[in-house]
Amino acid sequence: MIAARYTQGGGFAVTDAPEPVAEPGGLVVRIDAASICGTDIKILNHGHRKLRDGQTITLGHEFVGTIVEVNGSSNGFAVGQQVGVAPNIGCGHCGMCMQGMGNMCPAYSAFGIDRDGAHAPLVAIPRAAIEQALVIPLPDGADPRAATLAEPLSCVVAAQRATRIEPGDTVVIYGAGPMGLLHVMLAATSGAGRIIVADRNPARLALARELGAADTVNVSEQSVRDWAREHAPGGVDVVIIAVPVPEIQTEALEILAPLGRLCLFAGWPRGTTGVPLDTNAVHYKSLLVTGTTGGAPRDYVASLKLIGSGRVDVRRVVSHVYSFADLAKAYDTAASGTALKVVIAAQP
Ligand SMILES: [Zn+2]
Ligand SMILES: [Zn+2]
């Protein structure tokens, strides 16, 4: 079958890969839709710390599909059922796993990161993923091209849980890429009073306004610091950084109001150094500084509900849909940096 394959130290290729088989207690899922993530592109360019030199994997951790094989005990799953899969499989017995937070397990394994993922027509789901409640049935009639975004949305849900947006809050979101835009839509449903989005791409800022931002700052014309001085002199309640620029963290601490909350949502490749932070501002303004990565199964379930009800219309951040035959083109588009979310669908 066709697959988007990455070899640590050897690069990326759309090539032929063997079809997977289900391990005892596991499943094989036929992909209905999968999306390409910034993390996939980061892996192409920088590799991944969880991969050994020379190790080859099929990329893709955002996906939904239909069960086509059940090996042995079905655990309640059946051929023909449509499922989404939260992609981080924990060790199953550490403190984080006991709390249902496999994404924070020190020994986690993930589809498309260190095991074969879903940028291929078929993916094997191990028994451990079922046992950890990572395989989640989709509601009847779900649109797979939207449901595949439950994974990225789950990361946004996890971040906003940690950041505790309260009704009426002024929320600044740095970055109007797909993740920043999902943050805009979710913050709007969470009762944010005023959402401000900063980016340098006018088209993306225009979309941010359509999706709920009251104001936007084009940072090639004005800094958010200057914007805040004029429009939010008392400071803002929440800052979410969804763009990998370390210097923004310094500015974020300055513009936060007392009792403000900061989420360092974007990570950057290893080797990029961070910036010194004014920890005295954290002390005297009683700030909450947090960071999140990935989402837990409960965040994935919440995301499916938000997508299903239309409360978060994730289709607004999908810019391209390709078939598996155009897998190479899908990656070219995603790597160009000009697309929003690129989706690969069995039926585009
Ligand atoms: Zn992702
Ligand atoms: Zn664990």
Q: What is the pLDDT of residue 73?
A: 79
| Ligand minimally distant from the alpha carbon of residue 267 | 1
Helix (H) or strand (E) holding 125: strand 122-125
95 alpha carbon – ligand 2 mean position (Å): 7
pLDDT value of residue 126: 97
Give the pLDDT confidence score for residue 33 in this predicted structure.
98
At 304, the pLDDT band (50, 70, 90 cuts) reads very high
Q: Provide the token pair at 239.
A: 């800052």
Q: At 23, which amino acid appears?
A: E
Average pLDDT on 97-115 reads 94
| Average pLDDT of the residues in 238-258 | 95
Predicted confidence (pLDDT) per residue in 306-325, tens digit = 999 999 999 999 999 999 99
98 alpha carbon – ligand 1 mean position (Å):
24
Partners of 136 in the β-ladder: 84
Q: Which ligand is nearest to the CA of 43?
A: 1
Ligand nearest to the CA of 334: 1
- Tell me what pLDDT residue 271 has: 75
Task: Give per-residue pLDDT as tens, 14-67.
Answer: 999 999 999 999 999 999 999 999 999 999 998 999 999 999 999 999 999 999
What's the burial of 98, exposed, middle or buried (CB within 10 Å: 0-12/13-18/19+)? exposed
- 126 C-alpha to ligand 2 centroid (Å): 16
Average pLDDT, the chain: 95
Determine the Cα–Cα distance for residues 86 and 152; give it in Å rounded to an integer. Answer: 10
347: CB partners within 8 A, 6+ apart: 32, 323
Determine the pLDDT at residue 142.
94
Domain ranges of the chain: 2-138+313-345, 154-291
Instruction: Tell me the residue type at 111.
Output: F
Percent of the chain with pLDDT over 90: 91
Q: How far apart are CA 104 and CA 96, in angstroms?
A: 6
Residue 226 Cα, ligand 2 centroid: separation in angstroms?
A: 44
Distance in Å, CA 81 to ligand 1 centroid: 23
Distance 135 CA to ligand 2 centre (A): 17
pLDDT greater than 80 at residue 180 = yes
Token digits of residue 286? 């009683």
DSSP type of residue 103: G
Collapsing DSSP to helix, strand or coil, 128 comes out as helix
Ligand nearest to the CA of 91: 2
CA within 13 Å, CB half, 14:
13
Ligand nearest to the CA of 93: 2
- At residue 207, does pLDDT exceed 90? yes
Residue 39: nearest ligand to its CA? 1
Q: How far is the CA of 107 from the centre of ligand 2 (A)?
A: 6
**299: three-class secondary structure by DSSP:** helix
CA distance 203 to 208: 9
Q: What's the gap in Å between 20 CA and the centre of ligand 2?
A: 25
Q: Is the pLDDT confidence value at 274 over 90?
A: no
Residue 133: the pLDDT is: 93
Give me ligand 2 centre to Cα 154, in Å. 19
What pTM was estimated for this model as a whole? Answer: 0.96
CATH tag for 154-291 (out of 3.90.180.10, 2.60.120.10, 3.40.50.720, 3.40.50.300): 3.40.50.720
Fold equal for 2-138+313-345 and 154-291: no
Instruction: Collect all residues with Cβ–Cβ distance below 8 Å to 240 and sequence separation of at least 6.
Output: 159, 160, 163, 171, 172, 173, 174, 180, 183, 187, 262, 263, 265
Q: Please give the distance, rounded to the nearest whole angstrom, from the Cα atom of residue 104 to the centre of ligand 2.
A: 8
> Which band of pLDDT confidence, cut at 50, 70 and 90, is reported for residue 267?
confident
For the 2-138+313-345 domain, the top CATH level (class) is alpha beta
Ligand closest to CA 128: 2
Q: Is the pLDDT of residue 123 over 90?
A: yes
Ligand nearest to the Cα of 108, by number: 2
Q: What are phi and psi of 214, to 5 degrees?
A: -80, -25
Checking if the pLDDT of 97 tops 90, the result is yes
Average pLDDT for 221-247: 96
